[in-house]
Amino acid sequence: SPNIMAYYLLDASGWQGGYRAIAIIQIILTACLFLSLPLWKANGLQETLDQNEVKPFKETLRLKGLSFMLVTFLAYSAVEQTTALWATTYLVEGRGIDVETAARYGALFFVGITAGRFLSGVVTRWFNDRQLIRIGLAVLCGGVVLILIPTDIQIFSLIGLVIVGFGCAPIYPAIIHATPTNFGAVNSQAVIGLQMAGAYVGSTFMPPLFGLLANNISVTIFPFYLAFFALLMVVMSERFNRTMKNK
């Protein structure tokens, strides 16, 4: 998307052309998903979902360690979506990088997530979910540190952005995959629903909050904003691990 938008911004079509192109791609993807619905019934997945008992909301919230995991999910979504939406703006306005280069590396953030998730799927035979989450957090924090380095050398910020995407890759799927182990299979459906709610809160409200702060302070607070939520993820994730260890 950043590459497509950069192309149209440099063309006579303007940003409207970029929005039209991306909308067409989204419509095609939606059509593909809609046409794939019969596959769910063919594999018996719908029947499995229907048979799962949905726990009451209050009962689910009392599960040990769940509050830590919900905050972890919120912080993760805050990092991912804020980076996705504001990284290019930060590179241009905060670091003085030209629009084309900024858009290219903004796109590489998504490449980092995609490549990282493919790789994390391959290495699951050697690492469990908790280890993958810790590795992802370590890589993500390393990327944020590179962006934080106060230097005129632009490559640190550009590479840091890609590394942040790579670090984000295993966290989300590993947390979801570990849900039955952490909270029990019978609670999985309700817990995953709450985790998705936490993720939506982070992705819906945290990027606009950064925009508000950037407008009133400076867009250069971008790496500090990411660092705050990255640290929050580490703290909440480790508190969850200790809680489950003592369970």
Co-location of 189 and 161 in the same domain = yes
Q: What is the pLDDT of residue 129?
A: 86
- 177: containing domain: 58-245
Co-location of 45 and 81 in the same domain = no
SS (H, E, C) the chain: CHHHHHHHHCCCCHHHHHHHHHHHHHHHHHHHHHHCHHHHHHCCHHHHHHHCCCCCHHHHHCCCCHHHHHHHHHHHHHHHHHHHHHHHHHHHHHCCCCHHHHHHHHHHHHHHHHHHHHHHHHHHHCCCHHHHHHHHHHHHHHHHHHHHCCCCCCHHHHHHHHHHHHHHCCHHHHHHHHHHHHHCHHHHHHHHHHHHHHHHHHHHHHHHHHHHHHHHCCHHHHHHHHHHHHHHHHHHHHHHHHHHHCC
Q: What is the pLDDT of residue 54?
A: 57
pLDDT in tens, 184-225: 878 888 888 888 888 888 888 999 999 999 999 999 999 999
**Whole-structure pTM value:** 0.77
Q: What is the pLDDT of residue 37?
A: 79
Co-location of 38 and 127 in the same domain = no
Q: What is the pLDDT of residue 72?
A: 93
Q: Which residue numbers in the chain have pLDDT < 50?
A: 45
Co-location of 99 and 196 in the same domain = yes
Q: What is the pLDDT of residue 232?
A: 95
